[in-house]
Structure 1
Amino acid sequence: MKKIVLFVIILVMSLNGYSQDEFKSKFKAIPAKNSKIKKVIPPKVIAPKVTPPDVVKAAVDDFINPEAIFLNSNLYKKESNSSGIFYRRNQFLGSFKTKSFTSTIRYKDAAYVDGDKIRVYLNDKIIEPEVVLDGAFKGFKIALVDGVNKIDFEALNEGFASPNTAEFQVYDDKGIAISASQWNVGTGYKATIILVKE
């Protein structure tokens, strides 16, 4: 037993002899070299010039009768007479004149993303059979024909929260906004916008 205690004492003393002396009062830190500290100037950040396009404010309703559009029961679901439910109807989003040869249509879910699906028609022909609305804009470009170009957005469902809501934007071929709005329609109903190419 005495041998073990003696061994431990010798071991502790030897380790103490090899330890560093930097925490004793005799220790002096090496002073830092006097150097001129240059102030770092961050580079100038130049933000890109993103100006939203001017929206054409005046809709052209003098040659389009909104009620006459929805009279064709083969193309449009009849309005529901449910009291208090405003979205069980077709929605007219306006008619606009343009000299553009093409138009870009963009859309996204206007509320929170809840699985809303739409079908898109151009002059009563399906151009997008099923689109799931996300939180980011997506869309397509169409070639405009002379005269009336009718674009219908049909609600295929209402997602988890009624009604089918979407925000949409329509641009001409120069990137100028023709229209920007929202629709709120029930399943089977359509939101319609008309572009008249002059």
Structure 2
Amino acid sequence: MNSYAQSEFSKKFKPIAPLNPTVAPKKVTPAATTDAPVIKAPDLFKKPEETLPSFSKYQIGQAKSFSMEQTNDYVNPGDRIMEKMTKDLDKTLVREGLKEDDRFLVKIDKNFGEIRTKSKYFTVFYRDYIYIDGDLIKATINGQMIGGIMELYSSYGQFVFNLKEGFNTFEMEAYSKGTSGGNTCEFKIYDDKGVLVRSELWDNWDKGVKGKFVIVKE
């Protein structure tokens, strides 16, 4: 069979040699080794006036021994202002009679004076007129307890006692201190006809302090 083919690639054509792709590497001289710089991070748990000692190249803060003792390392500047405002408010409340204060406890018995009457008995209404904090009172007539130990509330409680001819000694005692300060009590005394005979109060009494009346039944 006969065949035909192109004849361009005869012996008279010489192939072009490929370029040499190899690139000679450049000689790089490594730099001299140096120590890494010292890094000191600030310690947020230290007081401002303290500086970080250099114990190592890389450190955060300084080791501190454990202690149960309370310190003021984390004082909030606003706490000082709040503390002063609280003290000023407390003083105002105490001065206006709206709060009790142990610093001004009354520790001396008080004599409320003499009452003259023809009444057969007296009725006493009593209450805590400031803050309900568990104040207790005890009342006696001629040394005999009346009605047991009585707790003071915002509403009036009451008790009744009879009078003998002549002199009667009536006492009311601050039997306890409340949780917010001294004992505070307001009381009103009425005769057997419902007439108000005496209205009194005590403020910030210590436990055991007594108020005394001499009642003369004519």
Which of the five TM-score ranges fits, normalised by the shorter chain? Answer: 0.5 to 0.7
Q: Does the 8 A contact of 2:128 with 2:135 survive in 1?
A: yes
Using a 3 Å threshold, how does the CA distance of structure 1 residues 129 and 143 change in structure 2: closer, same or farther? same
Q: Give ranges in structure 2 of 5+ residues lacking alignment.
A: 1-102
> Counterpart of 1:136 in 2: which secondary structure?
coil
Matched, 1:183 2:202: yes
Unaligned regions of 5+ residues in structure 1, if any? 1-83
Separation (CA, whole Å) in 1 of partners of 2:182 and 2:113: 20
Answer yes or no: is the 8 Å Cα contact 2:116–2:216 preserved in 1.
yes
1:139 paired to 2:158 = yes
Asked if 1:126 is matched to 2:165, the reply is: no
Structure with more relative contact order (C-alpha pairs < 8 Å, separation 6 or more)? 1
Give the CA deviation at 1:147.
1.2
Alignment of 1:75-86 (within 5 A): 85=104
Give the letter aligned to residue 189 of structure 1.
V
**2:117 matches 1:106:** no
Shift in Å, 1:86: 5.3
Report which of the two structures shows the higher radius of gyration computed on alpha carbons.
Answer: 2
1:71-93 CA-partner distances (Å, limit 9, x unpaired): xxxxxxxxxxxxx7450111122
CA contact (8 A) 1:158 1:164 kept: yes
Q: CA RMSD in A?
A: 1.5
Counterpart pick for 1:149 among 162, 168, 174: 168
Who is 1:70 aligned against?
none
User: In 2, distance between residues paired with 1:159 and 1:182?
Assistant: 16
Question: What is the distance in 1 between the residues matched to 2:146 and 2:139?
Answer: 6
Q: TM-score, normalised by structure 1?
A: 0.55
Corresponding residue of 2:134: 115
CA contact (8 A) 2:183 2:206 kept: yes
> Percent of aligned positions with the same letter in both sequences?
32
CA distance in 2, matches of 1:197, 1:122: 13
CA contact (8 A) 1:91 1:183 kept: no
1:161 aligned onto 2:186 = no
Q: Tell me if 1:197 matches 2:217.
A: yes
1:172 alignment partner in structure 2: 191
**Matching of residue 87 in structure 1 with residue 106 in structure 2:** yes
SS at match of 2:119: coil
- Tell me what 1:77 maps to: none
Alpha-carbon distance between aligned partners in 1 of 2:192 and 2:132, rounded to the nearest angstrom? 29
- Number of residue pairs aligned between Structure 1 and Structure 2: 115
- The separation in 1 between residues aligned to 2:105 and 2:154, in whole angstroms, is 24
Distance 1:149 1:156 in 2: 21
- For 1:142, the aligned partner's letter is F
Deviations 1:5-52 (A, max 9, x none): xxxxxxxxxxxxxxxxxxxxxxxxxxxxxxxxxxxxxxxxxxxxxxxx
For 2:191, give the aligned amino acid. Answer: D
1:107 partner SS: strand
Q: CA deviation at 1:186?
A: 0.9
Write out the 4+ residue segments of structure 1 that deviate beyond 3 Å after TM superposition.
none
Q: Where in structure 2 are the equivalents of 1:24-39 lying within 5 Å? A: none
